[in-house]
Structure 1
Amino acid sequence: MAKPNKKGPVRTVNIHCSQCRTKLYKYRKGGKGALIKCFIERITEDFTEQLATCPQCQQVFARETMIRGTPALKMIGQKVFMK
């Protein structure tokens, strides 16, 4: 399969922890569907200290994986939401 477009989409969304409402990432998302995965190269601002862990409540909200040969975070259902 083809790799995702590096420049990616222009639209940015804020990703928050659903348990404590802490802001986690600012992310360039493509499409209008649910947030299932985040390509690490599309994260514009990272507010976490440890990868895929909320800095406030220490909840693990994603798993690190490779999708189409690119490092990504696969989101665990209902642990994050986007605005």
Structure 2
Amino acid sequence: MKWKEMAKPNKKGPIKTIMIFCAKCRAPLYKYRKGGKGALVKCFVERIVEDHTNKQCECPNCQSTFARETLIRGTPAYKMIGGKVMAK
């Protein structure tokens, strides 16, 4: 059996955009092209359309950390901390 390399996320990405807000103070964080209908677990950096943060993974209003920087399948991404963000 041949081992297959894990697929990278689609470069163009999905068309549907969502707004991501801080769950604590409701400040806008990102406008993001999300694929699928599941919960927001990770954000690929290349899919972020608008970035409202001053410091990576930190809310510009209340300075709470809402995500951690990581590499997912070799692509830079932010792994969301449960309950820290909400998406609409």
Q: Which residue of 2 aligns with 1:62?
A: 67
Across the aligned residues of Structure 1 and Structure 2, the Cα RMSD in angstroms comes to: 0.3
Which structure has the greater CA radius of gyration? 2
Instruction: Select 1:4's aligned residue among 5, 9, 12.
Output: 9
1:10 match: secondary structure: coil
CA deviations on 1:40-62 (whole Å, 9 max, x unpaired) are 00000000000000000000000
Moved over 6 A (4+): none
Tell me the matched-pair count: 83
CA deviations on 1:10-44 (whole Å, 9 max, x unpaired) are 00000000000000000000000000000000000
Unmatched 5+ residue regions in structure 1?
none
Unmatched 5+ residue regions in structure 2?
1-5
Q: Which residue of 2 aligns with 1:20?
A: 25
Whole-Å separation in 2 of the counterparts to 1:10 and 1:36: 18
What fraction of aligned residue pairs are identical, expressed as a percent? 69
